[in-house]
Chains A and B, each alone.
Chain A
């Protein structure tokens, strides 16, 4: 951006506001570029944080269901019903009362917070536990 001079001002800028316009333009440009970068990296970052590509999107979805409702049997529906909730039918949590959250004017979520790629460990531990149970089952009929 060139420094505005008296005889050569950008279109629409008056001499009175020349300096302020320069700084506002810089600020706006920084913000708009940052917003584009932020917007394009948010979802990839979340996907990697939750465990992609080790876990697929369906696995991540199901792991999150298990965590927030504190129930290992829950799975995400795929393919999803159409028109499914929220466009029709019972809500996702309808009939599920295993969640530990405290409800009220300000609900308090009581599910454990998910750390960086922690869902992979949770997923692997559950699979290992289930396999161990299956293997030990015939020994004790």
Chain B
């Protein structure tokens, strides 16, 4: 779905822009769920690891792209997309 949306977005179609926003929200949902999953019982999950929670955040933080892409896509000039 996201691949199709991205292709349509590059072709500057309206539905590609809309579906890119929708699939970005999927990413937000997954990110929040993953953070919860890894934070609850973190004491058990990270026993014996070198940089327990900090190291995991370092690994996970780059998955925040949807949080940046959603405001970006919402503020793009929609007039230039074809319906």
- A interface, CB within 8 angstroms of B: 11-14, 16-17, 20-21, 24-25, 27-28, 30-32, 34-35, 38, 106, 108-109, 113
**Partner among A24, A34, A38 whose Cβ is within 8 Å of the Cβ of B72:** A24
B65 → A minimal CB distance (Å): 5
A133 to B44, CA, bound (A): 37
Interface of A, secondary structure class, is: helix
Whether B51 sits at the interface, judged by CB under 8 Å, is no
Indicate if the CB atoms of A13 and B49 lie closer than 8 Å: no
Query: How many of B's residues come within 8 Å of A, CB to CB?
Result: 18
**Known: A12-B76, A12-B77, A24-B71. Is A113-B65 also a contact (CB below 8 A)?**
no
Cα A108 to Cα B41 in complex, Å, equals 10
Distance of A83 Cα from B64 Cα, bound (Å): 38
Partner of B49, one of A21, A28, A113: A113
Give B16-69 interface residues, CB cut-off 8 Å to A. 41, 44, 47-49, 59, 62-65, 68-69
Determine if B75 is an interface residue (Cβ-Cβ < 8 Å): yes
> In the docked arrangement, what's the CA distance between A13 and B68, Å?
15
From B41, B44, B47, B75, residue with most partner A Cβ within 10 Å: B75
